Amino acid sequence: MKTTRYLFAFLCALLSALSSGYAQNTECRFAEWGHVTTDELKMTECAFEKKADAMLLMDLGEVHYRLASEGFAASGHFRINTAYYQRYKIFSESGTHHTDKKILISTGTTQEKLKNIYGTCYNLVNGEIKKTILQPDDIHRTQLSDGTEQVSFAVPGVVAGSVVEIAYEREEYVTYHLPRWYFTKDIPSAKSSITVGYLDAMIYYVEQHLVGDTLQTRQEPFTSSIMIPPQGSYVPQALTGVRQTYTAYNVESYQDEPFINSSRNYKSWIGFQLAMFRPPLRFDKNLVSSFDKLSEQLYTSERFVDGMDLHVIPRKLWMTMLNDNMSKEVLARTIYDYIRANISDNGGDGFIPENSNAKVWKDKTGSQTEINMMLISELRASGVDAYPILVSSRYADNVNFNYPILHNWEAVDALVMLDSKNAIVLDASEKSLPFGELPIAQLNTTGWVVRGVNDHFWYDIKEKKQSMKVVSINAALDEAGTIAGTIDITYTNHNAAGLIKRRKAGKQAAITEALKAVLPSVTIESVSDSIVEEKCYYIQKVKFTTTANTDNDGNVYVSIANIYGSATNPFVSRRRVADVDFGYTDRTLTTMKLAIPASYRADSTLPAAQMQMSDTSAIFTNRTEVSDGVVTCAQKIDYTRSVYPSRSYAALYEFEKHYYDLRQKPVVLHKK
């Protein structure tokens, strides 16, 4: 009984760790609150980023634990409180929106709360500082969906020249991770700092992702008010710890750029993952602290091992589809096609199956991981070597190759060994791509293959086949200068996948908007579409009209760009921070046949044009012919790389600039 009583006291005391030593001010816990100076109000620009419309003079945070209930203590959930303080300087009217806040909190299992919200705007009026204070009525809470709430507020009185202070606190339950801190924001920060109160008995792996910044660190010891009975004694002892502060100065802003994987990979941030407990804390909890440890835990997880090895599809069914003469690739394709066609994705996540193969087979639905674990088990039962490969997303962080960060992994695919040299990655939850092609979110990432306890390796995930768009324009020009005709567009591979998903989901309006984006100058009279299921092609047939460009002499100027293709070059900036990530290699073939009236003439031949990057990773060709009253234009744009590093951006920038100029060069039709 004494042991139970002390364990209860210990668990509850743990969750109040770090709460000691933090004095709660009447208005705000931060000592910096309210000390806005006249010099700050008189500032006219950011010294290290002069074009910024606003900046953060201070961006501060503190993380500490809070007391929670016995139930959450026993389940390994810890209640934490993160306090935020931000002091903004507004330089222009365009910068006033930066102080408007829309914060999402989860009111579900994490039971988040946003509290102690304060805001004050300072303006210099006739040499005196005038304050405008955020009122309770300025704070709005909106329930967006089950378990999600939006808290929004805007400090009143913000104009060019203002200094604005905002502070608030967020309470939530966590297990492995403390909240990540971003030093980089969408405006520059003069000082960005996060303080974390670590207990000596709780060890965290600290992941620092810095882009051109350096951190200054400071720490101070503290003794908490948490009293834990040491083993073999009834005399309680106080847990000690260290408050660690990480600070970056003069952090430049980062704005989202066209064609990036994740903006988080181009910002400076710091993250925290629980690695181990030390005495006097004696939680019996297996924590992942190495990739060997992760593979060991996976292969001692009953759900993971059963998912990989428990064959559930009736053998009689396989006997009707499989035979001994099939190659491993044909076997894999047959099993993959069957599971993909008969098991639907329920949207679940995580890389540990929640349900058994038997339940997934019975319900005919499962998460991506559960579907692919079933695929692995059926491949193995049929004599095909297959292993789980943990996959991430190109829209998330770059994978940490030194330490197993659990946030890196989203699901499990199947790595299939066709022979000693050739392998293929399969995701049977994906229904819009050909065999062997993976969703765009998984391309250009690195998966972690786990073959057994302490037997694992990395595998680069790339596409197998180039995606294409084949565009055929057949039209006629009339005497009034109207061009009318049809456009047939065939999309393959990743170009088709998103459109196929939208069509099957009934999102026709989204498809139409995407089509309008590549037909900016035409009137769409009608559209029909279809899917070629066995090839995963998506086909559109468009009937259109448009008005030709003419000059005062009645000459007509025509080009493919007048009808099809985006008219806006997304690469307008010469400066680039992020790699250009198109996601996949791509080829677009566009042909236009335009019948012209007998009253017009064009040169019988026009010179062909070609341009390319020096490494031939991007090539554009343009060919035009005139014969028997028909102008024929053919263009091809070919990207043989999916990712262009930022260090080589200058070459891509020049290519895109000339490409957009050249593709719009018209054929001139002269009035006879």
349 pLDDT higher than 50: yes
The yes-or-no verdict on residue 538 having pLDDT over 90 is yes
Confidence of residue 429 (pLDDT cuts 50, 70, 90): very high
Mean pLDDT of 552-568: 89
| pLDDT of 73 strictly over 90 | no
Residue 75 has pLDDT above 60, yes or no: no
Torsion-angle region of residue 287: left (phi > 0), alpha (psi -120 to 50) or beta? beta
Find the mean pLDDT for residues 521-527. Answer: 95
First to last CA, the chain: 106
**Quick one: pLDDT at residue 68?**
56
CA separation for the pair 442, 459 (Å, rounded) = 12
Phi then psi for residue 166, to 5 deg, are -135, 135
- Which of the listed ranges 21-25, 73-77, 360-364 does the model predict with the highest average pLDDT? 360-364
pLDDT over 60 at 71, yes or no:
no
Q: Is the pTM above the cut of 0.95?
A: no
Q: How many whole angstroms separate alpha carbon 209 and alpha carbon 408?
A: 14
CA distances 90 to 85, 138, 248, 251, Å, are 16, 20, 21, 17
Helical H runs in 616-671?
Answer: 649-663
- How much is the pLDDT for 665? 87
CA dihedral of residues 466, 469, 470, 474 (deg, nearest 10)? -170
Local structure of 41: helix, strand or coil: helix
Section 327-337 average pLDDT: 94
pLDDT of residue 462: 92
CATH 3.10.620 for domain 291-461, yes or no, is yes
Confidence at residue 3, expressed as pLDDT on a 0 to 100 scale: 38
Residue type for 36, please? V
pLDDT at 1: 38
Beta partners for residue 89, in sequence order: 55, 163
Burial category of 661 from C-beta neighbours within 10 Å (exposed 0-12, middle 13-18, buried 19 and up): exposed
Are the CB atoms for 408 and 420 separated by under 8 Å?
no
Indicate whether 70 pLDDT > 50.
no
Is the domain 2-277 a CATH 1.10.260.40 member?
A: no
How confident is the model over 379-415, as pLDDT tens digits?
A: 999 999 999 999 999 999 999 999 999 999 999 999 9
- % residues pLDDT > 70 (the chain): 91
Mean pLDDT score, 359-385: 95
Q: Model confidence over 225-234: pLDDT tens digits?
A: 666 665 555 6
Lowest mean pLDDT among 175-184, 492-501, 607-616: 607-616
Do residues 204 and 275 lie in contact, with contact meaning Cβ atoms separated by under 8 Å? yes
pLDDT digits (tens, 9 = 90+) for 118-148: 999 999 999 999 999 999 999 999 998 878 9
Query: Candidates 2.60.120.1130, 3.50.50.60, 3.40.1170.10, 3.40.50.1000; correct CATH number of 467-671?
Result: 2.60.120.1130
**Alpha carbon distance 568, 661 (integer Å):** 11
CB-facing half-sphere around the CA of 498: CA atoms within 13 A = 11
Q: Kindly report the average pLDDT of the chain as a whole number.
A: 89
SS3 455: strand
Specify the pLDDT at position 140.
Answer: 96
Banded pLDDT at 287 (limits 50, 70, 90): confident
Which tokens is 444 given?
């250009």
Top pLDDT among 267 and 671 is at: 267
Is a pLDDT exceeding 70 seen at residue 558? yes
Strands (E) across 410-481 are located at: 411-417, 423-426, 445-452, 455-461, 467-477
pLDDT per position as a tens digit, 82-104: 999 999 999 999 999 999 999 99
Q: How do the domains of the chain map onto residue ranges?
A: 2-277, 291-461, 467-671
